[in-house]
């Protein structure tokens, strides 16, 4: 299993735009065959800080996801919503580390 945490700090004035983008991304990503979890979480102390928690069957599922139209559209559109650079952490079972 591959786990990814993507931390996003959103501009207050772009929060609704960001949430609309995320709604489409989450729904489409959850429908992918190799997806086991794709959840958007909001920080309880900062309404403009979010974490996407992703769980994928394997690296092939992550690679497929990264090439999908819904992910590529999100990547192209989201920078205008961000107050800081996206921070991504990736975790894998020891047997999946290359």
- The domain ranges of the chain are 2-92
Helix or strand run (H / E) with residue 36: strand 35-42
Question: For 46-54, what is the mean pLDDT?
Answer: 98
Instruction: Please compute, for residue 68, the number of CA atoms within 13 A of its CA located in the half-sphere on the CB side.
Output: 22
Q: Say how far residue 32 (Cα) sits from the centre of its chain.
A: 14
Nearest residue to 46 via CA among 90, 6, 11, 86 = 11
The answer on pLDDT for 95 being more than 90 is: no
CA 98/CA 83 separation, integer angstroms:
33
Report pLDDT for 94.
66
Whether CATH 3.30.1300.10 fits 2-92 = no
Confidence bin at 34 (pLDDT 50/70/90): very high
pLDDT, averaged across the chain: 95
pTM exceeds cut of 0.95: no
Question: For 75-95, what is the mean pLDDT?
Answer: 92
Confidence bin at 54 (pLDDT 50/70/90): very high
């Amino acid at each position: 299993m591959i786990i990814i945490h993507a931390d996003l700090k959103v501009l207050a004035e772009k929060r609704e735009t960001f949430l609309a983008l995320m709604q489409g991304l989450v729904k489409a990503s959850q429908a992918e065959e190799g997806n086991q979890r794709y959840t958007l979480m909001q920080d309880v102390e900062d309404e403009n800080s979010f974490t996407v928690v992703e769980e994928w069957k394997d690296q092939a599922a992550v690679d497929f996801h990264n090439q999908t139209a819904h992910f590529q559209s999100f990547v192209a559109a989201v920078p205008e919503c961000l107050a800081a650079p996206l921070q991504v952490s990736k975790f894998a079972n020891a047997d999946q580390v290359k």
